[in-house]
Amino acid sequence: MSIYQDLANIKVDADLKRNETALKEVFRDANDIVFRNMKVGQNKKLKILLFYVDGMITKDSISEYAVQTLMESITLESLGKSNEIELENKVLQTNIAITELGVLQTLQECVDKALSGETILFIDTCTKAIWLSSRGWQLRGIQEPAAETLIRGARDGFIETMKINITLIRRRIRDPKLKVKYMQVGTRSKTDLALMYIEDIVNNTVLEEVEKRIKNIDTEAVLESSYIEELIEDDVYSPFPQVENTERPDAAASALLEGRVVIAVDNTPTVLMAPATFVSFMQSSEDYYERWMLACLIRMIRYIALPIVMLLPAIYVAVTQFHPNMLPTQLALYVAASRANVPFPPYFEALLMELVMELVREASLRITTPVGSTIGLVSGLVIGSASVEAGLITPIAVIIVALTSLASFAIPSYNFSTSLRMIRFAFIIVASFFGLFGISIGLCILIIHLSTLKSFGVPYLTPMTHFVERKSDLKDTIIRPKIKTLVRRPKYLQVKKEK
Amino acid sequence: MFEHKITPYQNLSILILVSFAFQSILMPLLLTEIDGPVGWMTIIIAGLVLYFALKPINKMMLKYKDNSVLSITNNIFPKFLSKLAGIYYIVMFLTANSILMKDFAEQIKLMMLFRTPLGTIIILILLTASYATKKGIKTIANIASIAVLIAFIPYLLIIIFSTYYADYSNVFPIYPFDVTGVFKSVPGSILGFFGFSILLFSNSKVTVQENNRLINRKFIIISSILYIACYLLIIVKFGIKESVHLVWPFISVMKFVNIPGFFFESTEIVGLCFQIVVTFSCICIIAYFTNMAMQETFKTRENGYFIFIQIPVLYIMAVVLPGMYMMFPYIQWPIIVFSSLNLLIPLIAALIDRTKQKMP
């Protein structure tokens, strides 16, 4: 059996050399692993071994609060032949000034801790190792998330370090009932993950379900929270996201206060929130920071943008191809005249323009930010006007596609907006076959799909599917009510405390 | 995780939607059979008959919680009769659904897809409906609720906007009214409350069955109001003489919609889009309850697979049967038979159950 597989069974040895050899075998060809042998105590009789990953620890704190004190300690002088309990207690309780530390039994635990950025201290004759909190690496500063900028509201955003993200949430909810459960996912990446919830609000069924699904994750590595999102969502074949994500601590705090569960994953600034519903994807943190009337208007605009994103190009295809009689005579004549020299049928024209638009969007995302937006804008303008002049498409098609793209930016959730953009292509295709009837049937299929969709047991279309029983939930959907009237948590979450 | 059944108000949405679809189809019957604009009297009579019939039925259904009318008849009727009742409901639902689908497909062909074969439209509706039906009652109820919000209410609003240029004097004269005509068209009106047949099955799927009594009453009242309002709207819009010649009065009403700022010329197509969602929901609902009737008659556990038996049957029936407007001269007796049986089967079951209860 290889040493990797057996590591969990290998206990920390009383002989320092053996521990070192075993660990060196585990980390063969890993030059960033540091083993430091020392003799401590005033007479330098007690042998110790420090083991850590270079670059992941703050050396200063270990040198100053652990190594230095151990070196100068008088109490360690006579401990060379002491029993291990006495040794461990002396070192732990009186000679190390680091607040966070613990005892490890096996080499596997030692390896895991070291790879998390802790320093492992082996003491000669002792069959237990001690981990000393020493995590420290270069961090990105707390900045405003680029994808969720607001006019009014906090400017801080999550970063790649989970513990800092937890702190950002804790600063907003200073409640002892806010619980944080640490877990680890990924057999190789061993990514840290924190499950956060407010104990006296959260629905236990939802919490247990989230926990169960995370525990059931069987993957080698989790490099981003999107892995978790995909692995725990209810229907992986649905184009719609079933877990919400954010880079804003205020949005995460608000989700916790609503009774939802927040999942913070290490190495990613994106935090997950579950359960998520159709309505939650249409809400933004800023809705609650603006005056309620303005927020109502903005929300209504979003709900107007929703059918535009999904249906406008399809309606254009249906009307020009199947139902030109729907248009006022003058407009119908103009459309017919402008289409006279266009070689493509309306559906091809719409599909082509939409594909070009997606291409521009994708390209501008890949180019460095300040130039990206300019290139996106310029290429959009140039391609649009050149195509019209070349007689490839009609000016109306350009307007339709531009309006659709603009509307997609009004949807606050990027994930959700992307889903709608994707569905738009399906609607164009059905409209090209069956006109408005095709669109209506497409809508019916979409409603069926969304009606069956659930996010951790919560129906996706709630509260619309229970608009009488949960009319109080409807209050905070298309409009944003006054803060004063927002006293009850959403009923659909079936939280412990509604108020 | 939370709900495996439908809520009382989702049940109400189902009942209202289904009834509305059949009221639209049967409206010409109400217009042609009565001499004068007093069809609303027929609706009131039909509503009252059903309202009072509900009392013993509610009582019986509350006693046999979680049981549909067919499960109850299995306990009460002899085996042969209960099977016959089951077969009746299957045939009735299949016929109703195929007529609804045929009418609906014809409207679409006439107004939207002139060159598409009727069979293609029917099969498209059927396949989409089967997708919903297979998903179960919860999905059906959710669809019904969403359809009410996004299609039924806007559809009604469009109809309201059509009152422009209406002649309200068309609702008169009331006296002397055609008594024979009013009573003759009651069976047709009863059939217009198609939700009554559905509630005999759907009530067993409701979470809080104690509320069914109230919900069923609400259904009769709301449905009656809608039925009367739609009837009166057609009358004030076209007058009784013109209305009797209309094939689909609702579509004709939507041709004259005047919404301020609305620039589309053919508003009936916009209205029809909403109607597609409403009618589609009804087709799904009836298909689901046909499945349920099949399950209970053939004593199988709940599954969605009966829809695959329904698809060819419904397709053939919808293609072969003529549209409702063509059948009006020949459907007097079938309507009487269907509406009587719809009323009598649960009433007789309730009566027998009561008698059995009283027996020592």
- Per DSSP, the residues of B297-343 read HTT--S-STTHHHHHHHHHHHHHHSPPHHHHGGG-HHHHHHHHHHHH
Alpha carbon distance B186, B193 (integer Å): 11
Half-sphere exposure of residue B22: CA atoms within 13 angstroms, side-chain side: 30
Tell me what ipTM this predicted complex has. Answer: 0.90
Tokens 């635990």 found at: A109
Alpha carbon distance A132, A101 (integer Å): 5
In this predicted model, what pLDDT tens digit does every residue of A236-280 receive, in sequence order? 999 999 999 999 999 999 999 999 999 999 999 999 999 999 999
- Among A72-86, A285-299, B230-244, the least confident range: A72-86
Largest CA distance in chain A: 103
Domain boundaries, chain B: 8-351
Query: Averaging pLDDT over each range in A64-78, A90-104, B73-87, B317-331, which range is the top one?
Result: B73-87
Cα nearest neighbour of A467 on chain B: B145
CB contact under 8 A, B273 and A459: no
pLDDT at A442: 95
Residue B178: how many CB atoms within 10 A of its CB? 17
CB contact under 8 A, B149 and A457: no
Burial readout A50-74 (b: 16 or more C-beta within 10 A, e: otherwise): bbbbeebbeeebbeebbbebbbebe
Chain B segment 186-245 residues within 8 A of A by beta carbon are none
CB B285 within 8 Å of CB B93: no
- Among A84-98, A301-315, B15-29, B314-328, the least confident range: A84-98
Average pLDDT over all residues of chain A: 88
Residues paired with A271 in a beta bridge: A246
B185 Cβ contact partners less than 8 Å away, ≥ 6 residues apart: B29, B30, B33, B34, B39, B42
Chain B residues lying within 8 Å of A324, measured CB to CB? none
Q: Is the pLDDT of residue A198 over 90?
A: yes
Alpha carbon distance B36, B170 (integer Å): 10
Structure tokens at A176: 């002892």
- Predicted confidence band of residue B251 (pLDDT cuts 50, 70, 90): confident
Domain boundaries, chain A: 3-132, 146-276, 300-459
Q: How close, in Å, is residue A441 to chain B by CA atoms?
A: 7
Burial readout A6-24 (b: 16 or more C-beta within 10 A, e: otherwise): ebeebebbeebeebbebbe
pLDDT at A305: 95
Question: What residue type is assigned to position B251 of the chain?
Answer: I
pLDDT at A275: 93
Q: How close, in Å, is residue A436 to chain B by CA atoms?
A: 7
Terminal C-alpha separation, chain B: 44
Tell whether B9 lies on the interface with A, counting CB pairs under 8 A: yes
- Predicted confidence band of residue B153 (pLDDT cuts 50, 70, 90): confident
Residue B16: how many CB atoms within 10 A of its CB? 19
Edge-to-edge order in the sheet of strand A191-198: A178-185, A191-198, A261-265, A271-274, A244-246
Residue B260: how many CB atoms within 10 A of its CB? 5
Tell whether A37 lies on the interface with B, counting CB pairs under 8 A: no
Residue A490: asked if its preceding bond is cis (omega within 30°), the reply is no
Q: Is the pLDDT of residue A2 over 70?
A: no
CB contact under 8 A, A457 and B121: no
H-run or E-run covering A130: strand A129-132
How many beta-carbon pairs below 8 A join chains A and B?
Answer: 115
Alpha carbon distance A132, A92 (integer Å): 10
Q: What are phi and psi of B3, to 5 degrees?
A: -125, 130
Minimal Cβ distance to A323: which of B2, B10, B112: B112
Q: Which fold has domain B8-351?
A: Amino acid/polyamine transporter I (1.20.1740)
Question: Higher model confidence: residue B293 or residue A70?
Answer: B293
SS3 state of residue B140: helix
In this predicted model, what pLDDT tens digit does every residue of A449-465 receive, in sequence order? 999 999 998 999 988 88
pLDDT at B1: 43
